[in-house]
Structure 1
């Protein structure tokens, strides 16, 4: 080996921290130890950042999303509106509207928005407009941590308390009417869980529900951010500890639903698979899935149009009423 080649090789070895300099001289053991400590510190810092700091930040941000502003459009306000407040069992104030409070008929619809959304999101307003135009009273409200309501979101588990409080209020305001919960995304999962143990709920429409929190959080993080799903799994774990809730929450753990259940599944939904939608629908002996081709998450109202969407709801309820009696 030529002297120049040997020198280059020794320099290369030195660059990679093996302790050689010049031609055969060793670095002091103290210098080598310091270098190893630095490498370990950098590695530990990176691990802390990836395994703790980033997921914890994502978890905190997920529990404190920007709020959608609940402003009722004039098109709905012209139908007659009553504002209301209820207080959940854990003290959270939940605010909402009743559109067409003097509507007649045997059904009253309670619309339940999705995560990061609110009671006056476009898809809610379109559906409320169609239902109220057919004479039905329509109840809209903001879950905790959303819109005008107080509290902090838990992305489902404690939102069941909000739904139950609203159902209690509606059942007293419209005695004898059958309450139909129509939920979207988080609201859909909450609607199913609430209805499973509340006899005051007559039927459930679940548009783009999630199966469990444990499944949806990694999918959501991967879908909504450039972060990998495993970061989402860690964020879900940290978030559940922060909020004091279980990642097992979701329709997957509902044993049975003895009432009409209509599940809207969009073919391009990245958060809910067709098999999961079918498993959710199977919780009811009169459950069915409406597949909406070409639609993404919570896009069925826009894809079908409010009129066709409501037609599908009423047809399912009518068919199940004959089946269940």
Structure 2
């Protein structure tokens, strides 16, 4: 769905424009390296006290020393979806949080390339977190977002301190489950893209990938030595357990695999207890 690999694009220019609330939350629009406007929200950690945040943070402040979690949502999500806000609230107990809407989702510009150019959206959000003064950045991705955090860490070495991928595919073009066959119809057929635009508030690009981007399982070995956590439910209806096991095998000693009993797919299935465990792991791993 792109004419060049996302990792080869120029560095993004982060130009936030938005509003600051009294609790420190900042809503902004970031500009990606290829010129797409990406809606983003910054939430300070639960223990931070602000009289009106303007950024950047003091370099030695408790907030800057705590990790910032940059959350990459799944396909058809956006920054204001209830399940995305719930993830943000759960992780705020462990550090600050940046959420954003991928291109083609919510109020962000452009059209979704279903995991290819989305690396540029994540890169803009990570750069924004760094410019706000955070010394440690953890990316946490779900489903499509899970594949994006893997590829971003591989293509942009040194930009993050830990990576968490939840319910991600290991390989492209998987059609082995009914939900994935429906997703491929949504993405590849004109009538499916209409359903995506008007029924799911997701604008999908009509072009096929050219070239095909680096797959998640190919990306994983390039992430080392950055710590990696792969999380997957044993009742995931989209991707069976061979996907997380392939990712964990590719990660080797620098990766950790959690197979969660009774868990389904992505943000909707990740309960607050699991998110708290992910937060604890990230604080330790990124330290």
TM-score normalised to structure 1 length? 0.63
The CA distance in 2 between the partners of 1:123 and 1:301, in whole Å, is 9
The CA distance in 1 between the partners of 2:286 and 2:38, in whole Å, is 31
| Aligned twin of 1:54 | none
Pair 1:291-2:259 in alignment: yes
**1:156-305, aligned counterparts within 5 Å?**
156-175=115-134, 177-198=135-156, 199-215=158-174, 220-223=179-182, 242-247=207-212, 249-254=214-219, 255-258=221-224, 259-284=226-251, 285-298=253-266, 302=270, 305=271
| Aligned twin of 1:306 | 272
1:242 to partner: Cα distance: 1.3
1:189 to partner: Cα distance: 0.4
Structure 2: which 5+ residue stretches go unaligned?
A: 1-20, 49-61, 190-203
| Contact kept in structure 2, 1:218 and 1:232, CA below 8 Å | no
- Report which stretch shifted further, 284-293 or 187-196: 284-293
Aligned residue-pair number:
235
| Aligned twin of 2:70 | 110
1:171 to partner: Cα distance: 1.2
1:250 to partner: Cα distance: 2.8
1:241 to partner: Cα distance: 7.2
Q: Deviations over 1:107-163 (max 9, x none)?
A: 1110111101112323322221122234x1110100000011000000000001111
Q: Deviations over 1:153-211 (max 9, x none)?
A: 00000001111111112111124x11000111111100110011321111111111122
1:218 to partner: Cα distance: 7.4
Aligned match for 2:81, one of 98, 117, 121: 121
The verdict on how the C-alpha distance between 1:106 and 1:246 changes in structure 2, with shifts beyond 3 A counting, is same
1:220 to partner: Cα distance: 3.8
| Contact kept in structure 2, 1:112 and 1:183, CA below 8 Å | yes
The verdict on how the C-alpha distance between 1:256 and 1:308 changes in structure 2, with shifts beyond 3 A counting, is same
The CA distance in 2 between the partners of 1:299 and 1:129, in whole Å, is 13
| Contact kept in structure 1, 2:84 and 2:267, CA below 8 Å | no
| Contact kept in structure 2, 1:213 and 1:247, CA below 8 Å | no
Structure 1: which 5+ residue stretches go unaligned?
A: 1-76
SS at 1:139 equivalent: strand
